[in-house]
Structure 1
Amino acid sequence: MKIKNNMTIRIIIALILGVAIGSFMNLYAGESWVTATNQYVFNVLGQIFLNLIFMLVVPVVFVSIVLGVVGVGDPKLLGSIGIKTVLFFLTTTAMAITIAMVLALVFKPGEGHANLLASDDVKKYEQQQKQKVEEAKAQGMATEQTFDQTLINLFPKNPVQAMADTNMLQIITFSIFIGIGMIALGDKVAGIRNLFEQANEILMYIVMMIMKYFAPFGTFGLVATAFTNAGFGAIRQLFMYFFVVLLALAVHMVVVYGGAIKLLARKSPIWFFKGFAPAMTVGFSSSSSNATLPISLECAQDNLGVRKEISSFVQPLGATINMDGTAIMQGVATIFIAQISGVDLSIGQMATVVLVAVVASIGTAGVPGVGLVMLAMVLTAVGLNPAAIGIILGIDRLLDMTRTAVNISGDAACAVVISEAEKRKLSVN
């Protein structure tokens, strides 16, 4: 089932209407009719659409990765593809945050805005975070996770619980083991393989039905509620920060991903962006790499010609560990907050920002707003006050949309690069 152009057009129209109507209603923020419309119309449409997509995330990731591992066939080849995938993601993430910090140092978005630190938003955010820490301690939960604990948590002791908690890394680990077991047993489990293939067909059919009948309405609701809450007023207040983040995202998308497609995959960047446009529009509206995963897989396989087994392995992994758009936000936000705080970061501190952001991106859930959690880790690592995140909270949802579109494009670019490399290797042999 190919993704139809008219569906993409309907989603884009819904995006435009959501921006226009949401921005108009933001002018009357606080009015009872605006609050009611936002809560009972925009929010309901958006959340139903998100729930329908999230309903499929765990089964799609589980089935896709199992089939991807089985399709690769050779565990050694699987290991080779896995290493290439992780190296691609970590390299582009480091490049993303470096581009962001360089642009922030050039444009100086935080210069002359020291008064923002005294805002109510900062105080409110600080109080909320203190309350969360106290609640976590009261429940006996760890407020910080050490590196060794992160490694241990890659492996589920209860895969069913991992699926219930949507713990993507544990689901991926379990799926890889299932796939390797199916490869080892071969024809003995041919029936199970057929079952997974049929389950995949069912899931993709449901995805297309959701996209056909619900996507435009859900997209409109999500974008309309985001702009009703934030509007262009917040953008005006933080215009330079907003501008630098968008510029860094555009540069990274065109130069890094476009360059990878041109130089490594030997394909046209225009062909890539055109073929992946439907998934990018859904990513923009949902602000979630995981929620967009089913449509991303469909675009990569049908529109970009990525081998199914490679797409099914690379993209779910990317939705978990590849957060280039989020890294860009962290780079700009760190320099921005340092500038309004009157702090000049040293070269060593900037290197720390890059390192912490890259490491933090591994295992971060692909859900809306998670970038702010990672940003708090980055700010703490260089001695800046995480409470300053409250300043950018108002427009983060709007930027989260663009970050997600970049994140999923990076996953697809990696899948195209690896798929084309494997095709060339087979043709040589």
Structure 2
Amino acid sequence: MGALSNIGPTAVAVWASAVVLFALIAVLRAVFKLNFSLLTVLALGLGIALSLVFDGQVDSLNLLGNIYINLITALVAPLIFVSIISSITYVGSLKKLRSIGLRSVGWLLLTNLIAIVMTLGVAIPLHIGSGVKLVDDESTAGFLTSQTAPLDQVILNFFPKNIVGDLSGNRVVPIIITATVLAIAIVSVGRQKDVSIVKRFFEQTKDVIYKAVGYVAELTPYAVVVLGATSTAATTSKADALLALLSILVLGFVLNIIQAFVVNGLLLKFVAHVSPLTFFKAVLPAQTTAFATQGSGAPRPRRQRPRGQRGGGAGRGRRTPPQRAAHRR
């Protein structure tokens, strides 16, 4: 039975309180121009407070939270697909693609290796997690069994067999592989034929999806109120079990912060020669949204204006590929 099928006085009060909090967020945003990241963090605090005030009886708000998550989920696969194709075709050189791809994979493996070594180096000496007992019952065993698969099946699942099914199932790795192969094919064909129409199609489709993602991302502070309230209710109902895992949770948060800001900051400073403060200031809204919603669908890339290109006139600065194609025609 759904949470809204049995509306009582408590549920009405919860919804009324949520509406008041939504109005407060709207005022802070429109009148006081509060920073998006601060507003999202504030919304998380308001959601936690809402759950505590009503003693965790906020199940009726699950509908709003699920609607937001569904909207984000619906856009993730198309966003990944067109973004990869657009980015690769924009580079336009297979030699550059090989160089960029190898370096990207190399740095991904390196940062993951650093994270693994750092975690083991801290967890093993401190005996983190010792004494924690997992619940051993049929439901838990069945769930764990359903999550396992033979290694060959795991590897096979990485590769696409039906792009429509992969997109509908949000299977990220097959989507990435399909988009990469298709983009490389477009670049290869572009050596002999004019594929500017295809490139423009994916570039403009990407812009449209970015705009749609932006609309959903604008709802993030309001959704975080709901998600914060419902998550807090679920957490407090299992407080005893969570206290036993508190050391693991704290270690996870601390090491994630070190990896995200200290390790990446050092790599940015000494390898990429980029100011860490400038970089983290630019990505903070996306990081805050991803943390608050526990997902990566809402944050979207913020397009930077190329050097030398100034606003106020289409003829100024460097032309984009669609503009160059239109100029040739």
Residue of structure 2 in register with 1:372 after alignment: none
- Greater share of helix residues, 1 or 2? 1
Q: Secondary structure at the match of 2:301?
A: helix
Q: Deviations over 1:63-109 (max 9, x none)?
A: 10001110111112212211111111111112112211222234333
- The residue type paired with residue 248 of structure 2 is Y
Equivalent residue letter for 1:224: A
Contact (CA 8 Å) 2:51, 2:232: kept in 1 or not?
Answer: yes
Which residue number corresponds to residue 174 of structure 1?
178
Distance 1:57 1:106 in 2: 39
Quote the residue 1:161 is aligned against.
Answer: 165
Matches of 1:216 and 1:273 in 2, distance apart? 20
Counterpart in 2 of 1:84?
Answer: 103
Per the alignment, residue 28 of structure 2 pairs with: none
**Residue number in structure 2 paired with 1:69:** 88
The letter of the residue matching 2:46 is: L
Aligned pairs (5 A) from 1:153-302: 153-186=157-190, 187-212=193-218, 214-231=219-236, 233-234=239-240, 236-289=243-296, 291-292=297-298, 295-298=299-302, 301-302=303-304
Query: 1:195/1:161 Cα in 2 relative to 1: closer, same or farther (>3 Å)?
Result: same
Q: Distance in 1 between matches of 2:250 and 2:158?
A: 37
Separation in 1, partners of 2:126, 2:53: 30
Q: How many angstroms apart in 1 are the aligned matches of 2:65 and 2:194? A: 45
Change (3 A) 1:63 1:49: same
2:136 counterpart of 1:123:
yes
**CA drift at 1:16:** 1.9
User: 1:52·1:210 contact (CA, 8 Å) conserved in 2?
Assistant: yes
Of the three residues 38, 44, 56, the one matched with 1:9 is 38
C-alpha distance in 2 between matches for 1:296 and 1:88 = 22
Structure 2 gaps of 5+ residues are 1-32, 308-329
Tell me the matched-pair count: 271
C-alpha separation in 1, matches of 2:148 and 2:129: 30
Aligned to 2:22: none
Aligned-pair CA distance for 1:62: 0.8
Residues 47, 228 of structure 2: 8 Å contact kept: yes
Q: Confirm or deny: 8 A CA contact 1:46 1:217 kept in the other structure.
A: no
Is the 8 Å Cα contact of residues 47 and 218 (structure 1) preserved in structure 2?
A: no
Q: Which residue of 2 aligns with 1:349?
A: none
TM-score, scaled to structure 1:
0.57
Aligned counterparts of 1:233 and 1:225: Cα–Cα separation in 2: 14
Partner SS state of residue 230, structure 1: helix
CA-to-aligned-CA distance 1:2-51 (integer Å, 9 cap, x gap): xx9733332222122123333455xx35xxxx1xx2x211x222211111
In structure 2, C-alpha distance between the alignment counterparts of 1:19 and 1:106, rounded to whole Å: 34
Instruction: Return the alpha-carbon distance in structure 1 between the equivalents of residues 150 and 128 of structure 2.
Output: 32
Aligned mates of 1:102, 1:19 — CA distance in 2: 34
How big is the shift at 1:285? Answer: 2.1
Identity over the aligned pairs, expressed in percent? 27
- Show CA shifts across 1:196-246 (max 9, x none): 12111111111122222x211111111221111113945544332222222
The residue identity in structure 1 corresponding to 2:198 is I
Aligned position for 1:40: 60
What CA distance in whole angstroms lies between the structure 2 residues aligned with 1:79 and 1:5? 43
In 1, the alpha carbon distance for the partners of 2:284 and 2:220 equals 14
Change (3 A) 1:250 1:7: closer
Matched AA of 1:255:
V
State whether residues 109 and 240 of structure 1, in contact with CA within 8 Å, keep that contact through their aligned partners in structure 2. yes
CA contact (8 A) 1:70 1:179 kept: yes
Instruction: Determine if contact 1:60/1:200 at 8 Å carries over to the other structure.
Output: yes
Q: Counterparts in 2 of 1:318-397, with a 5 A limit?
A: none
Cα gap change, 1:87 to 1:14, in 2 (>3 Å): same
Amino acid at match of 2:270: L
Structure 1 residue 61, shift from structure 2 partner: 0.7
Q: Which amino acid aligns with 1:223?
A: G
Q: Give the Cα separation in 2 of the matches to 1:157 and 1:107.
A: 45
CA contact (8 A) 2:213 2:300 kept: no
Equivalent residues of 1:45, 1:217 under 8 A apart: no
RMSD, aligned α-carbons: 2.7
Cα distance in structure 2, aligned partners of 1:155 and 1:250: 32
d(CA) in 2 for partners of 1:122 and 1:78?
A: 48
CA shift for structure 1 position 193: 1.6
In the other structure, the counterpart of 1:98 is: 117
Q: Which amino acid in structure 2 is aligned with residue 8 of structure 1?
A: S
SS in structure 2 at match of 1:261: helix
What amino acid sits opposite 1:40 in the alignment?
S
Contact 1:69 1:78 in 2 (8 A): yes
Report deviation, 1:271. Answer: 1.7
Question: Does the CA-based 8 Å contact 1:103-1:248 persist in structure 2?
Answer: no
